[in-house]
Amino acid sequence: MKENQVSGSVPGNGDALDMGNYRIDQLPKRAKSSTEIWMARAGIPLAILAFILFGFAWTPEFLRVFNADILPDSAAATLEEIGRDEMIRRNAFMLAVFLVGMILWTAQSIPNYLTSLIVIISLVFTGVLTERQAYAQLGHPIMWLNIMSFILASMLVKTGLAKRFTLWFLLKFGRTAPRVFLSFIVINVTLSAFISATTAKAAIMLPIFMVIAAIYGSRPGEGKGNFGRNIVLQNLLNINLGAGCFVTGSGANLLAAALISGAIAGGVFFADWMIAMLPTMVGLMLIGYVLGMKLVFPLEQREKLPQVKGGMERLKKEYDKLGPVRWDEIRAAVIFLTILSLWATDRLHGISPTAIAFVGGIVALMPRIGIVDWNDVDIPWHLMLFSAGAYCLGAGFAETGLPNIAVDAFFTTIGLDRNTPFWVLYLILTGVMCYSALLSQSKTMRAMIFVPIAIGTAQHFDYPVISLALPVAFLIEHVYVLPFNSKPAALLYETDMYSLTDAIKYGLIMMTLGWLAIIIMGETWFRVLGITPDGVFGLF
């Protein structure tokens, strides 16, 4: 088959093997489905209705009869200052604003950053947060970690180091379809150790795996095939699971670790998270590879070898264009290895991951000795504003104690008392956390909702905080089923290499296996590490 003779449409100049055609700004806007259009139209009316109903018309009974003893310290102090009636009013508005954010983020009726701005100012106008508390969320340490991560990712892009590593690895080990998929597992885990922004990782790798898809006979639109479905969906899976290998893999992981560290003596360190989750996530990636290749999207014999003549040579040309390793690439590698080493030894020196990334960003931007200047840095500020809204909701939860009140009411309603077995709580909390990803677009928001709930549940039932909170946090990165579940999911859906049905079929299987993995690890590996108590499951 001659080069580019594969059915399907390609953005840009139409050359399926030109990486420039698969930059984010070159991807065509994907047409919304009828369901997405209906959701977008219904979102604003539903959000207004929810705000009026819960903010003004009706206050649920569980908000009126809460036990003050279950409130976190900040909420308890607020209650003592303002009184019970005012606390009930603020909780009602907190619930109303939360529902508005959930509806608009899910329905995508308006841009996500605009929803976040509405959430922030709504919490101010309703008196849930002061202006200082609300606006300060833009200066949250995790926000700064994200900014520094995008600076460092821009350094990888400008120097070509990430592209060089990815192309080198694929050319060396990816000569057949199975080896291509296994190579991307290694690449994803490696990049996840250095880059805490999953969107940045997706942007770096997308042009490369789209070209490989074309080489193996898959193209967007009508030309999509099982190789293309596998390579895009497996990369989406691995981008997120790779982030779950490390506490620095995403800002949501770091936020969860900070919340847990605030509730226990000591803290959750880089090595603690990596030892627990690196084998777990790599195992799930390998399972995802086998399931995709063999069962969900089995490859035809012809798809197992390159279909476009000279395709791999084009990758070799792209690699050769990079020339010999340059001094700025060496410096970039040194900066990243230094950052990783400091992250891995945080238990010894006690410096936070954000502070370490901050220093790395400063060095990268430093005149003469640095590698990038400000004009080279690509920081998606709309994502920053989106995150600020999610953090603002977290601040509102801390001030009102709404998650603790809701948890207490839930367990009281279903009749669970303090003699409830640990495994019942473990299954409920991890299951809800895992499948909540189907409804939420923000990993940060899920971390802020469910990690405090897990902490409160552990304290309520007198179990160690980490035994429930850490396994819940380990499920943050399972956000790959629906396009609105995460930014990489939304980005890769625009490639038109798979359908919504494909994503749901593959994603739900992997999400369920991810939950089962946390259950099995809770009885085995997590017990060895001292995360879960001995002998509480009785499964093995």
The pLDDT score that the predictor gives to residue 6 is 43
User: What's the chain's Rg over C-alpha atoms?
Assistant: 24
Number of Cβ within a 10 Å radius of residue 61: 8
The pLDDT score that the predictor gives to residue 3 is 40
| pTM for the structure as a whole | 0.76
The pLDDT score that the predictor gives to residue 520 is 95
Q: Residue 145: name the closest of 258, 261, 281 by CA.
A: 258
Q: How far apart are CA 454 and CA 407, in angstroms?
A: 9
Q: How far apart are CA 72 and CA 465, in angstroms?
A: 14
The pLDDT score that the predictor gives to residue 452 is 80
In angstroms, what CA-CA distances link 413 with 35, 408, 410?
35, 9, 5
Q: How far apart are CA 282 and CA 245, in angstroms?
A: 8
Q: How far apart are CA 284 and CA 238, in angstroms?
A: 9
Decide if 308 contacts 3 (C-beta within 8 A): yes
Q: How far apart are CA 15 and CA 3, in angstroms?
A: 9
Extract the residue ranges of the chain whose pLDDT is less than 70: 1-33, 222-223, 308-311, 440-441, 535-540
The pLDDT score that the predictor gives to residue 395 is 84
Q: How far apart are CA 146 and CA 380, in angstroms?
A: 10
Decide if 177 contacts 222 (C-beta within 8 A): no
Burial profile 185-202: b = 16 or more Cβ within 10 angstroms, e = fewer: bbbbbebbbbbbbbbbbb
Q: Residue 282: name the closest of 180, 153, 192 by CA.
A: 192
The pLDDT score that the predictor gives to residue 22 is 52
The pLDDT score that the predictor gives to residue 30 is 57
Number of Cβ within a 10 Å radius of residue 123: 29
In angstroms, what CA-CA distances link 292 with 3, 53, 81, 234, 485?
27, 45, 56, 8, 20
The pLDDT score that the predictor gives to residue 419 is 77
- For every residue of 343-369, DSSP letters joined together read HHTHHHH---HHHHHHHHHHHHHSTTT
